[in-house]
Chains A and B, each alone.
Chain A
Amino acid sequence: MEPDSVLYGLLGRIHLLMRRVANRITDVEYMRANKDYAREIVRLGTATGNPELAELCRRLRQAMELDAPEAPAAPPRSEEAPGLLDRLRTGRPSATHPTERYIGSLR
């Protein structure tokens, strides 16, 4: 996935164009956090027929990997029973970025 600066740049421009072209307000933060919501907005944006908006949606689809299958939530099981630290760490393997961190738990 592209870094946040790229993603937010695309999201902000899509937000503006969706307002102007489709008279629709989008939630930029939620689009960053929720891929299902992002996919829906991309679909709506593409359906408007506006070339600039469609191009931005295409780029966002690539940047956020919206077409890639979702990674499984549960980590693969190992043969040995994992220790406490391992269980804490693998419970949410990439849970350091806010968009991954707040899935299933706040803390």
Chain B
Amino acid sequence: MPGFLAARRSGRFARVLPWLAGLLVLPCAAFAQAVPPARLDGANTAWMLVATALVLMMTLPGVALFYGGMVRRKNVLSTMSQSIAIAAVVTLVWCAGGYSLAMRPGNGFIGGFDRLLLDGLRLDALAGIQGASIPESVFAVFQLSFAIITTALVSGAFAERMKFSAVLLFAALWSLLVYVPVAHWVWAPDGWLAQLGALDYAGGTVVHINAGVAGLICAMVIGPRAGFGRQAMMPHNLALTLTGAALLWVGWFGFNAGSALAADARAGMAMLVTQLAAAAAGLTWMCAEWLVRGRPSALGLVSGAVGGLVAVTPAAGFVTPGAALLIGLVAGVGCYLGATLLKRALGCDDALDAFGIHGVGGVVGALLTGWLATPAIGGVKGYFTVQLTGVAATAAYSALMTLLVLLAIDRLVGLRVDESTETDGLDIVEHGEAVA
């Protein structure tokens, strides 16, 4: 008879059992002690508060100025107001349900309902993300700043012709129905693209491809501005655009380095590669334009820089400085072609090149991340086919849902201003104000 059974029959097992149980429990207890409980880190929290402010600055006033300077004088206030109004609307939507559905545990496609109206978000609660020792409140507002800028970027495509009421509705519906699900797919641990291994460090897919494709659909559905292709539509003040671009560039450090959710080496590397890609892309676009047109333009220089920032966004936490330079070079050329040749080929009036820069730059960055991501930086390897799946899924979903949102808004309030409003300018008709 085996010794174990014999011992059990004799009752000695009963005396040995507690000791056996103790032997089993002891390693577990020791292991639990080796993993310290998550607790708030002041340095990380301080950095994340700053990063959030930087990302919000990218919209207020970064995008507002960037876009505002590029439209005609009669639409400057309207364009800038749209960015500010979008920030306000998306904030409320995020509070109402966006945060819960985007970031909380749910299923592969959408998050849970445990933070509707931010209910349950306690003062002392942590973010709940592995490795993130920051308060949940900070995490929530950091992610909000991403939702805001993504929605604001879309407005560049329908500039100078969409009703203000339609813009407000679009901000609410698009941020909830398009941005939130995609954010969950990519950034929530149970999101299906995250489970697949798609890499998107700071939002190349969630933010830029999403906004770019949505912008293209908006431009197609709403139609071109009156006189598009025949009349010169001169930017009102490119100095505003350059100022806005500079704010975007600096704010992007919060965007990419802040996505580390900590003040650590990875954040530092993300900041470095962000700067490298922006510089490389800006100079590349500038050189391309110099070659084609005979002289470099200020708008081209900053557009290239923004294109590089877009492209490095998904890669920022995964690539080396050398890879960032390559991303910048490719993005500079890619976004230049996207805003010129591709735009002419598509033939639709994406007024401020939301697709040409953000869509194309996002695709370039997402795909290059699959090739250039290295475990030495981000601890993971990239796969081109997985990245392609993420790009395709996001583009398809964004296109379809944006179309449905636009059709719904058209039924409710109508999308486009009338001809006389477009001629007189949205500033004076929609807002009763004008730039001197």
Least CB distance from B81 to A in Å reads 20
Residues of B within 8 A of A50 (CB): none
Residues of B within 8 A of A101 (CB): 232
Tell me, yes or no, whether B234 is within 8 Å of chain A by CB: yes
Q: If the complex has contacts A88-B340, A91-B344, are A104 and B292 also in contact, measured as CB distance less than 8 A? A: no
Residues of B within 8 A of A36 (CB): 231
Residues of B within 8 A of A106 (CB): 70, 233, 235, 299, 339, 351-353
Tell me, yes or no, whether B229 is within 8 Å of chain A by CB: yes
Least CB distance from B344 to A in Å reads 6
Docked pose: A57 CA to B341 CA in angstroms: 38
Residues of A within 8 A of B70 (CB): 106
Mask of B127-151 contacts with A, CB within 8 angstroms, 1/0: 0000000000000000000000000
**Using a CB-CB cutoff of 8 Å, which residues 59-107 of chain A contact chain B?**
73, 84-85, 87-89, 91, 95-96, 98-107
Q: Which B residue's beta carbon lies closest to that of A27?
A: B73
A91 in contact with B232 (CB, 8 Å) = no
Q: Which A residue's beta carbon lies closest to that of B343?
A: A105
Residues of A within 8 A of B356 (CB): 107
Q: If the complex has contacts A85-B292, A103-B229, A106-B299, are A91 and B340 also in contact, measured as CB distance less than 8 A? A: yes
A96 in contact with B292 (CB, 8 Å) = no
Mask of A12-38 contacts with B, CB within 8 angstroms, 1/0: 000000000000000001000110100
Tell me, yes or no, whether B295 is within 8 Å of chain A by CB: yes
A104 in contact with B293 (CB, 8 Å) = no
Number of residues from A at the complex interface, CB < 8 A: 23
Residues of A within 8 A of B341 (CB): 84, 87-88, 91
For this complex, into which size category does the number of interface residues on chain B fall? 20 to 34
B228 in contact with A104 (CB, 8 Å) = yes
Report how many A-B pairs have Cβ atoms within 8 Å. Answer: 66
Task: Find B235's partner among A87, A102, A103 (CB 8 Å cutoff).
Answer: A102
Residues of A within 8 A of B343 (CB): 105
Q: Which B residue's beta carbon lies closest to that of A29?
A: B234
Residues of A within 8 A of B292 (CB): 85, 88-89
A95 in contact with B233 (CB, 8 Å) = no
Residues of A within 8 A of B227 (CB): 34
**Using a CB-CB cutoff of 8 Å, which residues 352-373 of chain B contact chain A?**
352-353, 356
Docked pose: A102 CA to B336 CA in angstroms: 15
A98 in contact with B232 (CB, 8 Å) = yes
Task: Find B232's partner among A84, A88, A89, A100 (CB 8 Å cutoff).
Answer: A100
B232 in contact with A105 (CB, 8 Å) = no
Residues of A within 8 A of B231 (CB): 33-34, 36, 103
Task: Find B340's partner among A34, A73, A100, A105 (CB 8 Å cutoff).
Answer: A105
What are 25 A-B pairs with beta-carbon distances under 8 A?
A29-B73, A33-B232, A34-B231, A73-B229, A85-B292, A88-B292, A88-B340, A88-B341, A89-B293, A91-B341, A96-B294, A98-B234, A99-B232, A99-B234, A102-B233, A102-B234, A102-B235, A103-B231, A103-B232, A105-B340, A105-B343, A106-B299, A107-B303, A107-B339, A107-B340
